Amino acid sequence: MDNKPFVEAFQDVNTRLIDLVGTLSALRELSGFEVTDHDEERLLQGALQVVADNLELDSVGIFLQDEAERFELVACLGCDAAEKENADAAQAWMKQQARRTTEQFAQGIKGALIDNDEVSYIGLPIQASQQLLGVFVACHPHSGFFTVEHERSLIIFCNFLGQLLIKNRLLHDMEKMVTERTQQLQEALEEAEHLKERYATLSVIDELTELHNRRFFFPETQSALARAIRYDEPFCLLVLDADNFKSVNDRFGHGVGDNVLRAIAELLREEAREADIIARFGGEEFVLALPETDEDGGKVLAERIRLRIAGLEFRFAEKDFGITVSAGVAALQATHSRETRHALEELLHQADSAMYYSKGHGRNQVNRYSDIACKI
């Protein structure tokens, strides 16, 4: 019996088995790719290395289409000859074959474009969900090299590669979107924090004079007063009010009146110590809490402030004018409540009474509550 047909059949099956093993090995290696660790060019270059090693291909390349449908060679193996002219010629030839493959794909022709004339060539579309992503090109210097088995193996490879590309792009798009959203969220959080700080500041700052307001004054002053009571230290309050301020607004307008209040506020900041608490109580009334200051010290400061304010000059419509203030001083005494809230209310009432006494007795003066208490 002639064993030749059996030998040929065995050799054919053996060849097919080897090709199948090579294809499976290539797919197994591709499935192990961590797409998040590769940019697209590195991913495709690694895929080409896998198929070249497992299917014993010499020259392979992958072309991707840009938005203008131009072919760009993004990965290649074996087509970069030592001389640049040869490399350019090889790449130009592969690009031409890639274009032919794309035209065939556009015509609805399935499978590979195989040309086994002078140089063996095979081209396959890389697609996913009927979307053409690019073209895989392989060539061999010997005619008749590529077979149906090559076509089958490479179709599986290109389909797998198409899915790999889509997955890679989706992951990178998602990562980009997450980065952008994270940046937007961070900016929103920073803006919210800024607004929070701004609102918190506005809640305790008088917008016109940039001094603290009543909301800030009471808790801060109670805290300072509590220390004074606990350690038996001197403490006094100074209340001052601009004289005849309504006439300033009536004669020159509220804009000029605002400038006057800002000038008084700036002067108070200059005269106050770091530990002193200054607040605009509303309208043209200001309050200073003076830790470690007795009634005499409070009156000295109040007189200095009164004189400086009386020396301020303002001008409107070529007319000069000035402003004066009336002030009252009250100091912490043993007779005051030991409960800070009540003690503060008493001090405010006494300093306010002394200030109104100053207004009622000629304005532009300072009075201590202890001096006028028996008169009111």
Active-site residue, from 284, 295, 318, 345: 284
The answer to whether the CB of 137 falls within 8 A of the CB of 98 is yes
Q: How many helices (H) and strands (E) does the chain have?
A: 10, 12
Q: What is the pLDDT of residues 26-76, one digit of tens each?
A: 455 555 555 555 578 888 887 778 777 777 777 888 888 776 667 788 888
Would you call 48 helix, strand, or coil by DSSP? Answer: helix
Residue reference for tokens 């074996």: 78
**Burial class of residue 357 (count of CB atoms within 10 Å of its CB; 0-12, 13-18, 19+):** buried
**More confident of the two residues 141 and 273:** 273
Q: What average pLDDT is seen over the chain? A: 82
Q: How many CA atoms lie within 13 A of 19 on its CB side?
A: 18
The C-alpha atoms of residue 332 and residue 174 are separated, in whole angstroms, by: 67
158-162, 248-252, 289-293: the lowest-pLDDT one: 158-162
The C-alpha atoms of residue 316 and residue 330 are separated, in whole angstroms, by: 36
pLDDT at 18: 43
Q: What is the DSSP secondary-structure string of 246-271?
A: HHHHHHH-HHHHHHHHHHHHHHHHHH
Does pTM top 0.85 for this prediction?
A: no
**Percent over 90 (pLDDT), the chain:** 41
Question: Residue 149 pLDDT more than 80?
Answer: no
> Does the annotation count 180 as an active-site position?
no
> Which domains does the chain carry?
4-177 (3.30.450.40), 214-375 (3.30.70.270)
**More confident of the two residues 71 and 157:** 157
Q: What is the pLDDT of residues 326-342, one digit of tens each?
A: 999 999 998 899 999 99
According to DSSP, residue 207 is labeled: T
pLDDT at 117: 66
**More confident of the two residues 302 and 109:** 302
Residue reference for tokens 């952008």: 180
